[in-house]
Amino acid sequence: MSYERKNIRDMQGYSWGEQPSREQVIKLNTNENPYPAGPSVSKALAALTVDELRRYPQPFADSFRDVAARAHGVSSDNIIATNGGDELLRLAITTFVEPGHTLGMAEPSYSLYPVLAAIQGCHVARVELRDDWSLPDDFAEQLNTAGAQLAFVVNPHAPTGQLLPVERLRSLAAAFNGVLVIDEAYVDFIDPEQAYDAVPLIREFDNVLLLRTMSKGYSLAGLRFAYGIGSASLLAPMLYKTRDSYNTDLLSQRLATAALAAREEAAETWLKVRRERSRLTEQLSALGFAVIPSQSNFLLVTVPSTENPENQAREFYLELKEQGILVRYFDQPRLRDKLRITVGTPEQNDALIQQLRQAIETSAGRN
Ligand SMILES: *Cc1c(COP(=O)(O)O)cnc(C)c1O
């Protein structure tokens, strides 16, 4: 006897990147920051007492919202705090997409979107990225035709790391009839020379929702804290109706607030990641991998050309795993000849390069 709703029975759950319990694994598979959060976060953690946990947390995480509002030059009405970015994605779908209706996304992108859509019982209109992984010019028009009530755009894009300029997002927001969710999970790793800032869009458009997370840039993936930035009218139904009453806990509010208030501490890690991103790009290219230029903390690389690149990529993934290095392999169209590699510390990246060099030599020896 099954008690599930039909759409739940028919759906597949999310597949996580491996989260090994072995400490000595070099973990380059789920895009975590390789450096820990700074001293301000340690201090906030040490200052917590069990007595404080007796009480419920601030229902709207107002202390955090104030800090976030100041950091982005918006009002605290423009901020919603959530239990990870994943909760914000789920809230956006629950709030803005009717069951049986449609949401849109580019393909490929974050594989959680279709899972959340299936839970809601809505359809997914998938628009293929072009050969160079850019968004088709008529992306918004295609989704309007499909009747999409909401669309997801990841920027910088996952899994390629490519960045859309704000101008392009502006024209998307203007052309699209529904809510445009711009998933900026990796925004902190963008080169400052790009001068990227999409926050002004929330003043121009009442259908733009930006997703920010403390998981990647602020080294707090274990904490589960993220936030949305949008017009007050867009956020209101999520803030006052669809959210769990205490959706973020006291501990995460405290630490996230401390982390965002000490943004300059996190920014030191972003600089290190960018330096390693350049170095890793060069070294992987020298080994014969085709590397897509990335503005994120990961690289999507195509294995050096062989007769069977899909086999090759899977073999490299397995050989690295055997050597204690985890990277991500996606068994899906257009990605089977590729690996997605999180930028690690210099030592981790050196170990990766060394193992890949060996894997290439071994495979050349076999042929
Ligand atoms: C990591 C990630 C998120 C959010 O992650 P949380 O840990 O839930 O905050 C959202 N979108 C993309 C594309 C991501 O990679």
pLDDT tens string 241-252: 999 999 999 999
Buried residues in 264-301 as b, exposed as e (16+ CB within 10 A):
ebbeebbebbbebbeebbebbeebebebbebbbbbbbb
**Global pTM value:** 0.97
Do 146 and 269 sit in the same domain of this protein? Answer: no
Q: Is 248 in the pocket of ligand 1 (CB under 6 A)?
A: no
Instruction: Tell me the CA–centroid distance for residue 82 and ligand 1, in Å.
Output: 12
With cut-offs at 50, 70 and 90, classify the pLDDT of residue 16: confident
Instruction: Tell me the CA–centroid distance for residue 154 and ligand 1, in Å.
Output: 10
Do 313 and 216 sit in the same domain of this protein? Answer: no
Residue 81 has a pLDDT of 98
Residue nearest atom 15 in ligand 1 by C-alpha distance: 185
Q: Is 215 in the pocket of ligand 1 (CB under 6 A)?
A: yes
- Higher per-residue pLDDT: 102 or 361: 102
Q: Does residue 18 form part of some domain?
A: yes
Q: Mean of the pLDDT values across residues 120-135?
A: 97
Number of domains in the chain: 2
Instruction: Tell me the CA–centroid distance for residue 209 and ligand 1, in Å.
Output: 15
Do 250 and 299 sit in the same domain of this protein? Answer: no
Residue 17 has a pLDDT of 80
94: containing domain: 39-262
Cβ(140)–Cβ(175) under 8 Å?
yes
User: Is the pLDDT reported for residue 31 higher than 70?
Assistant: yes
CA distance 32 to 286: 25
Q: Is 226 in the pocket of ligand 1 (CB under 6 A)?
A: yes
User: Is the pLDDT reported for residue 22 higher than 90?
Assistant: no
Burial of residue 185 (CB within 10 Å: 0-12, 13-18, 19+) is buried
Do 235 and 107 sit in the same domain of this protein? Answer: yes
CATH number at residue 18: 3.90.1150.10
With cut-offs at 50, 70 and 90, classify the pLDDT of residue 191: very high
Do 324 and 223 sit in the same domain of this protein? Answer: no
Instruction: Tell me the CA–centroid distance for residue 308 and ligand 1, in Å.
Output: 32
Q: Mean of the pLDDT values across residues 320-326?
A: 95
Do 44 and 163 sit in the same domain of this protein? Answer: yes
Q: Is 112 in the pocket of ligand 1 (CB under 6 A)?
A: no
Q: Is 225 in the pocket of ligand 1 (CB under 6 A)?
A: no
Do 257 and 270 sit in the same domain of this protein? Answer: no
Pairing of strands 208-213, 290-291: unpaired
Q: Does residue 1 form part of some domain?
A: no
Q: Mean of the pLDDT values across residues 202-228?
A: 98
Residue nearest atom 5 in ligand 1 by C-alpha distance: 85
| Alpha carbon 334 to its chain's center | 20
Do 258 and 333 sit in the same domain of this protein? Answer: no
Residue 236 has a pLDDT of 98
Q: Does residue 354 form part of some domain?
A: yes
Q: Is 85 in the pocket of ligand 1 (CB under 6 A)?
A: yes
User: Is the pLDDT reported for residue 365 higher than 90?
Assistant: no
How many distinct helices (H) and strands (E) make up the chain?
Answer: 13, 12
List, for residues 76-120, the tens digit of each pLDDT value. Answer: 999 999 999 999 999 999 999 999 999 999 999 999 999 999 999
Cross-strand bridge partners of residue 79: 229
Cβ(268)–Cβ(38) under 8 Å?
yes
The 3-state DSSP class for residue 127 equals strand
Do 224 and 323 sit in the same domain of this protein? Answer: no
CA distance 328 to 95: 32
Q: Is 228 in the pocket of ligand 1 (CB under 6 A)?
A: no
Return mean pLDDT, the chain.
96
Residue 305 has a pLDDT of 80
Residue type, 301: V
User: Is the pLDDT reported for residue 367 higher than 70?
Assistant: no
- Among the candidates 219, 241, 262, a domain finishes at 262
With cut-offs at 50, 70 and 90, classify the pLDDT of residue 208: very high
List, for residues 33-74, the tens digit of each pLDDT value. Answer: 999 999 999 999 999 999 999 999 999 999 999 999 999 999
- Among the candidates 235, 262, 289, a domain finishes at 262
Residue 134 has a pLDDT of 94
CA distance 345 to 280: 10
The number of the ligand 1 atom at minimal distance from the alpha carbon of 158 is 13
CATH number at residue 253: 3.40.640.10
Residue 309 has a pLDDT of 84
Q: Is 154 in the pocket of ligand 1 (CB under 6 A)?
A: yes
Cβ(102)–Cβ(147) under 8 Å?
yes
List, for residues 272-312, the tens digit of each pLDDT value. Answer: 999 999 999 999 999 999 999 999 999 999 999 888 888 99
Q: Is 221 in the pocket of ligand 1 (CB under 6 A)?
A: yes
Do 194 and 217 sit in the same domain of this protein? Answer: yes
Instruction: Tell me the CA–centroid distance for residue 211 and ligand 1, in Å.
Output: 9
Residue nearest atom 14 in ligand 1 by C-alpha distance: 185
User: Is the pLDDT reported for residue 321 higher than 80?
Assistant: yes
Do 167 and 118 sit in the same domain of this protein? Answer: yes
Instruction: Tell me the CA–centroid distance for residue 3 and ligand 1, in Å.
Output: 30
Instruction: Tell me the CA–centroid distance for residue 238 and ligand 1, in Å.
Output: 19
- Among the candidates 262, 283, 314, a domain finishes at 262
Q: Does residue 255 form part of some domain?
A: yes
Do 125 and 93 sit in the same domain of this protein? Answer: yes
The string of DSSP letters for 316-348 reads HHHHHHHTTEE-B---STTTTTEEEEE---HHH
